[in-house]
Structure 1
Amino acid sequence: MSQPHIVAVPYPAQGHVLPLMELSLWLVKEGCKITFVNSEFNHKRVMKASSENDDVRNKINLVSIPDGLEPEEDRTDLKKLTEAIGEVMPGKLDEVIKMINESDENGVSCVIADENVGWALGVAEKLNIRRVAFWPAAAATLTSFFSIPKLIDDGIIDSDGAILKKQGIKLSPNMPIMNSSDFSWAFFPDPALRRVVFDLVNDNAERVKSANWIICNSAKELEPEAFAMFPQMSPIGPLLATNRLGSSTGHFWPEDSNCLNWLDQQPHNSVIYVAFGSFTILDLTQFQELALGLESSKRRFLWVVRENLILNGDSVYPKGFKDRVGNRGHIVKWAPQQKVLAHPSIACFVSHCGWNSTVESVSNGVPFLCWPYFADQLFNQSYICDIWKVGLGFNKNENGVIGKEEIKNKLDKLLGDTTFKEKALDLQAKVNTSVKEGGSSNKMFGKFVDWIKTQRSSI
C-alpha cells in the first residue's frame, strides 16, 4: 500500500499550530507523509524559533502560503485577518494541493484542517479529497458551536450571536453548566467584531458536517458528557510530545531551556509556574500586582514574561522587585512548557487556562490557579475548578484587578490543601491511561490511522 500523503492546515495562532504539529508528528511515526501549511508570517516565526537540534524539517514538509496581510499589519485584528484569509488562503491552498498531486504519483490522501479553518475543508471537498476536521480545544466548546441553532431557538442568543439571556445553561442534561456570557464569540464587546467571529464559528460548524472524521485533542476521561452528546467527535488526546518521547515543536518564540537547569536546583514540589500563553495581555497595574503577589508569597517561582505581555509597553517591574526576590524567582521570555510541567519541582501552575496548557498540566498531575483571559479559557476554568476540582480561581477587586493579597492568599490555599494535588494525580492517572496501549484515546487513534491508510476512496 502506498504511503499516505496528508496536508495539514492549522488556524494561524500559536495555540492551534502546536497541537496540529504534534498530531502530524504522531502520524509521521505511523508511516504517513505530511505537508504542513502555515501562513507565511507564522512559518517564518516557527523557523526562526526552532533550534538547531530540531529535526522536524526532516520529518515534515513545512510550506507556507500568504494570509493576505502585509508583514507589518496587526494580526490581532480578527476582523481584518479573517477577511484577508478568506480572500487569499483558499486559492493558495488549492495551488499547493494541485502541485503535490502533480509531483506525487499517489497524490494527497487526506486534508486535516483545524475546525477553525473550515474553508480548507471546502477546498478539499472541491478537489474530491477525504477530509478531517481537527478540534484542538475542549470538546465541550465545540458542542456549544454545534448547538447554535438550539441556542437561538431557546432565546439564549439572537441570530447575530448577541447574548439575550445571561445565565448558566446546560447544553444537555449531563453536561457541566456553561455561562452564556462565556461563549467564545461573546467576549468581543464590539458588535461588528462579535458578528464576524460568530459568523465564522457558525460557518465552520456547518462545514465540518462534510468531514469524514472530527478528531479532538481531548479524552473521554476528561469530558464524557460532551462526547456522549456528539458521538461524531472522536477523542484522540491529549496529544503531547512527552507521550511521543519527543520535544514539542512549532513554537513562535525560542524556548529558554536554561530554566530547566534552574528547576533542577529547586526542591521537589516547591515552584510556582506562571505562564499565560500567546494571547493574554496585562495592563501595567495588573502586571505589577502579579509581581508583588509572587514576591509576598515567599515561594519560588518560574515566570514566563513574553515580549508583548504588557499592554502598550514593556515589562516594568516594581522598584527593587528583582533584587528582593533574588534567586527564588526565575523569569524567561518563553519556556519549554511540557518539560517544565513534567519537572518534579513544580508545585502549581498559574495559567490562562488555554486548552493546550490545561491538558499539559492535567497530564502531569499539576494543580492550577486559573487566570483566564478570553474565549474558551473561561469554560476551561469551570472544568478545572468545578468539575475536576484540581484548581482555584482568582477574584478581582472593585477596580477589576487581581490584587497581590488575593494572589498570595490563593497560593496559600491551593498549596496548603493536599486535596488539590491528590485529585490532580488521580486525574493524571486516568488521562494518561487513555493514551496508553488499550486506552480509549489510543484505540480511537488506531482506528483513525487505519482509516487514513486505506486506499483513497471516491467521494
Structure 2
Amino acid sequence: MEAMPITDEKKPHVVFLPFPAQSHTKCMLKLARLLHHKGLHITFINTESNHKCLVKHGGSDEVPGFQFKTIPDGHPDDGTEPIKTTEENVSYLLTHFLDDFLGILTGLEVPPTCIICDGFMTFVGTFNAAEKLKIPVILYWTLAACGFMAYYHAKVLFEKGILPFKDKRYLTNGYTDTLIPIPGMEKVRIKDLPKDIFTTKHDDLSLQWIVESARKADIVTHMIIHTFDELEAPLIKEIKSLFPHTFTVGPQQLLLNHITEKEDKKSSFNGHSLWKEEPECLQWLESKELNSVVYVNFGSLAVMSIQDLIEFGWGLVNSNYYFLWIIRTDLVDGKHVVLPQELNDVIKERGFVASWCSQEDVLNHPSIGGFLTHGGWGSVIESLSAGVPMVCRPFLHEQPVNCRQMCQEWGVGMEIEGNVKRDEVEKLVRELMEGIKGKKMRNKAMEWKKAAEIATNSNGSSSLNVEKLAKEITLLSRN
C-alpha cells in the first residue's frame, strides 16, 4: 500500500480512543498505524497503566507524527502490572475521564480533525467533549459485523419492551434456544446474543451500557467494523442499509503485512501487546510436525473455575495431541493457577504451557492444526487469516454469536456447549485434528484465508475501505 501524499498545510489529525482492554487496544492501534501510513497524524490515548505495559512489552513509542497521550486510571504507580478488573476500570473512568479527556484535546498542538472512538467508550462522556469542541466522532467497533448487530439488536429488543426479561423463566434453555430474526443473520438463538443482556432488572448497568452504546451508532455519520465484506456479505449489506458510511477494514494484520519493512520502521513500533509474550512458545513449536499441535487460548478477559480448567487439561491430554496452552495468571477466578500434580506431570509429556504469546505468529506456524478458543473476535479473525479451524467455548460478551456464526455459517468451528467435560473436549479435539468434519473445516478455513488475502490486497475491499476512510478524514480537515 502506498502512503497517500498530503500537501495541505493543515494535516489531518485523528485522536484514537480505545476501550482499555488488550484486544480493543491492539485492534485500534493497528488501524491507527494504517492511517498513519496513509499520511494522517495520530494521537492515541491510553490509560496510564496500559500505556506503560504497551511500551514495556511492545517497544518504543517515539514515532514521527504518531504520539501517545495518557489518562489516569486509578492504578497505583508502583511498577506493577495492572490487576484491576474491567468493572473497576469502567467505574473509575465514569467518574474521572471527561475532564482529563477535555484537557488532552484542548492541549493538542494541532486541533483534531476527528475522534475515532471505540464503540464501547462512549459511556464516559466522549460525545460531550466532542460536541463541546465541535469535533466529529467516528465509531470503531472492534468486532465482527455479527457481533455489532447482536449488540445493536439488544437495543431493538429493549425498545420493544422485550428486554429486560419479565422474569427468570425467560433465562431458561427452553426460551433462550428460540431462534430470533435478525436481518442478515440466520440460525441465531436468543442465547447467542451478548451475555451482558440477560437480566430481569431495568437498572442493570451492563444492559444500560449496551443500549446506550448502540444508540450512539444512530447519531454518528461514519462507522468502522473490523471484518471483511466477503466473510459477512449479507449482514454487511443490512448494516450499510442502516448506516451507509460503514467501512470494513479487516483483517488489519494482513493489511499491515503489505507495508514494506523500510516503511514499517518509519510508521510503527515493535508490537501491540500489553503483556509479555513468551518467545519460548515459538521455539517449542519448531520441533513439531505439520498440523500436529492444538493451540489453546481463552483470551485476555475470560475467567473459569479450577474444575473447568482441569477438565480442559485432561481432555487435551487424553486426545493424545501435542498442545500449546496459554494459561493467564488470573484465568481461574482471577487467582493464581495451581494444577493438580498428576495433571501437571502428564501435561509436560505432550504440552507446553505459557502465560501469553504472540498469537498471530503462533496461529501462522505450520505445526498448528487447530485452535481451542473462547471465540473472541480478535482470536477468530486471526485464526481465519491463518486458515486454522476452531473448537469454541464462549464465555462472555459477543463470543456466543461469533461461535454460532463460525459453526453454522462459516463452516470452520465446533462448539463445546454446557458444562465442560473432559470426554467432550477429547472428542472434539480429535475430530478437529483428524476427523472428517475437521478436514472439511480446515479446507473451509483455508478458503476464508484466501478470501481475507484478496480483501487486503491493493484492490481488495478492505484495502480500498482504508483508503476511502483516510480520504474522508482528509476532507474533514479541509472543511
TM surpasses 0.5: yes
Q: 1:122 to 1:234 in 2, by over 3 A?
A: farther
Q: Does 1:422 align with 2:430?
A: no
The answer to whether the 8 A contact 2:303-2:334 is kept is: no
Q: Does 1:181 align with 2:186?
A: no
CA distance in 1, matches of 2:469, 2:213: 22
Letter in 2 for 1:227: I
Tell me what 2:112 maps to. 108
Give 2:131's match in structure 1, choosing from 125, 130, 145. 125
Tell me what 1:216 maps to. 225
- The correspondence of residues 60-209 of structure 1 with structure 2, limited to 5 A, is 60-67=66-73, 75-76=84-85, 78=87, 81-100=89-108, 103-104=109-110, 107-118=111-122, 119-148=125-154, 150-152=156-158, 154-158=160-164, 166=176, 167-172=178-183, 174-184=184-194, 186=196, 191=201, 195-209=204-218
The answer to whether the 8 A contact 2:47-2:71 is kept is: yes
Letter in 1 for 2:248: P
1:248: how far off? 7.1
1:288: how far off? 1.3
Tell me what 1:444 maps to. 465
User: What root-mean-square deviation, in Å, do the aligned CA atoms of Structure 1 and Structure 2 show?
Assistant: 2.6
Tell me what 1:240 maps to. 253
1:374: how far off? 0.8
Tell which deviates more after alignment, 413-422 or 61-70: 61-70
1:356: how far off? 0.3
CA distance in 2, matches of 1:303, 1:341: 13
CA distance in 2, matches of 1:312, 1:143: 30
Tell me what 1:392 maps to. 414
TM-score (norm 1): 0.89
Letter in 2 for 1:288: I
CA distance in 1, matches of 2:300, 2:167: 26
1:5: how far off? 1.7
Structure 2 residue runs of 5 or longer lacking an equivalent are 1-7
Q: Does 1:324 align with 2:338?
A: no
The answer to whether the 8 A contact 2:146-2:402 is kept is: no
Tell me what 1:227 maps to. 236
Q: Does 1:293 align with 2:315?
A: yes
CA distance in 2, matches of 1:77, 1:8: 20
Q: 1:280 to 1:152 in 2, by over 3 A?
A: closer
Residues 247-277 of structure 1 deviation map (CA, whole Å, 9 limit, x = unaligned): 8733221001221121111111111000011
CA distance in 1, matches of 2:226, 2:334: 34
Calculate percent identity across the aligned residue pairs: 26
Tell which deviates more after alignment, 270-279 or 40-49: 40-49
- The correspondence of residues 332-351 of structure 1 with structure 2, limited to 5 A, is 332-351=354-373
Residues 30-73 of structure 1 deviation map (CA, whole Å, 9 limit, x = unaligned): 122211111123222223323xxx34442531221023576799
1:294: how far off? 1.4
Tell me what 1:413 maps to. 431
1:214: how far off? 0.2
CA distance in 2, matches of 1:58, 1:291: 43
Letter in 2 for 1:124: A
The answer to whether the 8 A contact 1:185-1:198 is kept is: no
Q: 1:58 to 1:311 in 2, by over 3 A?
A: same
SS of equivalent residue, structure 1 residue 456: helix
CA distance in 2, matches of 1:175, 1:221: 14
The answer to whether the 8 A contact 1:240-1:248 is kept is: no
SS of equivalent residue, structure 1 residue 218: coil
1:149: how far off? 5.2
SS of equivalent residue, structure 1 residue 320: helix
Residues 151-171 of structure 1 deviation map (CA, whole Å, 9 limit, x = unaligned): 246553249999686322021
Q: Does 1:259 align with 2:281?
A: yes
- The correspondence of residues 18-29 of structure 1 with structure 2, limited to 5 A, is 18-29=26-37
Structure 1 residue runs of 5 or longer lacking an equivalent are none
1:83: how far off? 4.0
- The correspondence of residues 267-278 of structure 1 with structure 2, limited to 5 A, is 267-278=289-300
TM-score (norm 2): 0.85
